Amino acid sequence: NDLQDAHIWLEPFFFAPPAPATFDLSEGSFWRELVGDMRSSYRAAPDVRPGANQRELVNPEDASDGWVVSSVCAGEGELLNRVKRRAQRKRVLGQMELRIRDDLKISGCLVSLMREFKKPAAVKMQASTNEIMRSTTSRVCKVHATVLQPDDLWKGFNYGGKWVFFEDHELKQLGKEDGDVGMDLLGFKDRSRLKLYHNMKPAGFYQPTEVIQGSTVALEALVESMHRKEKIAICRYRRSISEVRLVALLPQLRKHEPESGVVAMPYGLFVIQLPFAEDLRDLNLQPPLLREDITPHEFVATRALIQSFTLPEGTAPVATVPNPAMHKFYSYLQAVATAEKEVKVTVDTTLPDAALLAAGEPQQAAFREAFGLSDAPVASSSGAKRQKVEKVETPGCLADWVGLWQQGNLSSQTIPTLKAFCKEQGLPLAGKKDDLMARIHDHLVERTKEDQAMAGGPSDGPKLEKD
């Protein structure tokens, strides 16, 4: 209890002796009695990170016989993986039903597999007492200099260049969708139809629960069948009253660690959020090169370059490289807190491997020669004299904008100029420069169709070609 009150938790891990000997954790053995008594009184470790939901961590430690199997490790690598899995407790996002039809449902829970680890935010403290200061926000009317109450505030949306205002109770009804929370099966598709760019967010993981009896066996049979037939399921996903999405369910079979046989990945379904039609962007990219557009010499040079940069066997950068910015932050924090004279050096493993680059220098030279790439260093802007950029005139009227658009020179205008025209025409101002240009392009197309006279007079700018 003293250790737990000090936020120190003990997790037993045992190394298995060389075969055929086994580690004795049988009933009544010394280690079984010692560790079993400790675990029977364990409480869940709190998540002290900012914004952590403590209600998600109320589950006690496993006091059943299941911990015996998972506590014996066959090697050092397996021990490190176990420790990582213990330190990164799974985060249950909520209970959710998978409805195949009204009278056929599977109960389960959605688990978050990935959560970005962020630096803790600094808090303001009073210098004399080191007490944490509490911040409050007040909104003041610019006209009467009075403090506004929550009832005095409305929220608005820009719709067609005009503001539409809502009260709080009206806004709560906005965007509500019909249906129950959960996933409704729409059908199945071939697994090959799911592309990498379809992933809108990190995938969740759906595991069965026995809230509905028989869900465990039913989901396992569904996963086995989907994996065997190479299918994915398409579902309507609804987690709250205002969030409705389409998701793809990707089957995952149960995986075991080869040496110990412990379950490394349970069976279940990866929940991948799919994009809507409005989420996809038409980038108007150049057509891709065909195989006949590349000469044999260029193809050989490219293949050799890729082979020279192939990472060695056994290296897996994904989810194994520590965040250098995070480690540097905590190194400085530790140095200040403990009054250290020197800060611990942080090794940035995200930098390119110098040895790998040096070993592939012949392939790099052949690639430059094959495609005629210049290896001359680019002159820095500080050492070389900058060329004088000719100032582009700002369009003064709608006809000038039409002429600029016909010449394909909308990109010559700055973002403030594009936003000023959007505001004048009642167009939304959100987005990047490409979004603003696309919005203006569509607007000018519609205006020229509605008002043909705009392109007819000599003083109104260049003529538009009729469709």
The per-residue pLDDT for 187 is 95
> Which pLDDT score is estimated for 130?
86
Same domain for 29 and 72?
yes
Do the domain assignments include residue 288?
no
Going residue by residue through the chain (467 aa), what tens digit of pLDDT does each one get? Answer: 666 566 566 666 677 777 777 777 777 787 777 766 666 655 554 544 444 444 444 344 444 555 565 666 766 666 776 666 655 555 778 888 999 988 899 999 888 887 788 888 888 888 888 888 888 888 998 888 899 988 888 888 888 888 888 887 777 776 665 667 889 999 999 999 998 888 888 899 999 988 898 998 999 999 999 999 999 999 999 887 677 889 999 999 988 777 666 667 788 999 999 999 888 877 777 777 787 888 888 899 999 999 998 887 767 667 678 888 888 888 888 888 888 888 888 888 888 888 888 998 999 999 988 888 865 555 554 444 555 545 567 787 777 888 888 777 888 888 888 888 888 888 888 777 888 888 888 888 887 777 654 444 443 443 434 33
How many of the other CB atoms lie within 10 Å of CB of 198?
A: 15
Residue 231 in any domain: the answer is yes
The per-residue pLDDT for 36 is 67
Q: pLDDT value at position 58?
A: 39
Shared domain check, 85 and 13: yes
- pLDDT for 101: 86
Q: Which two tokens stand for residue 129?
A: 């007492």
pLDDT of residue 408: 79
For position 20, what pLDDT does the model report? 74
Residue whose entry in the numeric block shows the structure tokens 């990866």: 270
Q: Which residues contact 185 (CB under 8 A, 6 or more apart)?
A: 98, 99, 100, 101, 233, 234, 235
The Cα-based distances of 41 to 3, 125, 134, 353 in angstroms read 12, 37, 37, 49
- Asked if the structure places residue 30 within a domain, the reply is yes
**Predicted local distance difference test score (pLDDT) of residue 224:** 94
Q: Do both 299 and 415 map to the same domain?
A: no
Q: Based on the domain organization, do 164 and 46 belong to the same domain?
A: no
Q: Does one domain contain both 76 and 103?
A: no
Q: What is the CATH number of the domain that holds 213?
A: 2.40.290.10
Which domain covers residue 25, as residue numbers?
2-89
- The answer on 78 and 21 residing in a single domain is yes
Question: Do residues 80 and 100 both lie within one domain?
Answer: no
* Domain final residue, candidates 227, 254, 279: 279
Give the chain as a 3 state SS string. CHHHHCCCCCCCCEECCCCCCCCCCCCCCHHHHHHHHHHHCCCCCCCCCCCCCHHHHCCCCCCCCHHHHHCEECCHHHHHHHHHHHHCCCEEEEEEEEEEECCEEEEEEEEECCCCCCCCCCCCECCCCCCECCCCCCEECCCCCCEECHHHCCEEEEECCEEEEECHHHHHHCCCCCCCCEEEEEEEEEHHHCCHHHCCCCCEEEEECCCCCCHHHHHHHHHHHHHHHCEEEEEEEEEECCEEEEEEEEEECCEECCCCCCEEECCEEEEEECCCHHHCCCCCCCCCCCHHHCCHHHHHHHHHHHHHCCCCCCCCCCCCCCCHHHHHHHHHHHHHHCCCCCCCCCCCCCCCCHHHHHHCHHHHHHHHHHHCCCCCCCCCCCCCCCCCCCCCCCCCCHHHHHHHHHCCCHHHCCHHHHHHHHHHCCCCCCCCHHHHHHHHHHHHHHHHHHCHHHHCCHHHCCCCCCC
For residue 225, the model assigns a pLDDT of 95
Give me the pLDDT at residue 265, please: 78
Domain shared by 272 and 298, yes or no: no
Please check whether residues 48 and 192 belong to one and the same domain.
no
232 and 266 together in one domain: yes
* Nearest residue to 120 via CA among 345, 329, 336: 329
The number of folded domains in the chain is: 5
Residue 393 in any domain: the answer is no
Residue 273 inside a domain? The answer is yes
pTM for the complete prediction? 0.58
Q: Judge whether 69 lies within some domain.
A: yes
- Considering the domain boundaries, does residue 287 fall inside one? no
Both 201 and 268 in one domain: the answer is yes
Are 193 and 163 found together in one domain?
no
Q: Does residue 259 lie in a domain region?
A: yes
Tally of residues, the chain: 467
